[in-house]
């Protein structure tokens, strides 16, 4: 039995949203908090955005390359 795979364009979009979506959300929240004089909370959210982006690009990048 042969399985036919259809159009996988939606899968690429979902993976991109998983990789970049939460990091962008954390960054936007961090910038807003930083601008509203809550500097400590803003820095924490910006650091969280960087860590999430680093981990998600590593994990999803490995999955996308096929290892």
Per-residue pLDDT tens listing for the chain (67 residues): 566 777 777 887 887 888 889 999 999 999 999 999 899 999 999 999 999 988 888 877 777 777 6
The reply to whether 48 falls in a domain is: yes
DSSP 66: T
The pLDDT, as a whole number, for residue 67 is: 63
Locate 53 and state its tokens. Answer: 């982006």
The pLDDT, as a whole number, for residue 10 is: 81
Segments of 1-67 assigned E as strands: none
Q: Are 45 and 24 in contact (CB under 8 A)?
A: no
Domain span at 56: 23-62
Name the helix (H) or strand (E) containing 30. Answer: helix 9-35
Report the number of distinct structural domains present in the chain.
Answer: 1
The pLDDT, as a whole number, for residue 52 is: 92
- Give the residue from 1, 3, 53, 2 showing the smallest Cα distance to 24: 53
The pLDDT, as a whole number, for residue 12 is: 78
The reply to whether 2 falls in a domain is: no
């Amino acid at each position: 039995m042969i399985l036919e795979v259809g159009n996988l364009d939606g899968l690429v979009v979902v993976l991109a949203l998983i990789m970049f979506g939460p990091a962008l959300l954390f960054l936007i929240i961090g910038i807003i908090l930083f601008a509203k004089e809550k500097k400590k909370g803003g820095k924490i959210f910006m650091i969280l955005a960087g860590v999430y982006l680093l981990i998600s690009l590593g994990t999803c990048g490995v999955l996308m390359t096929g290892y």
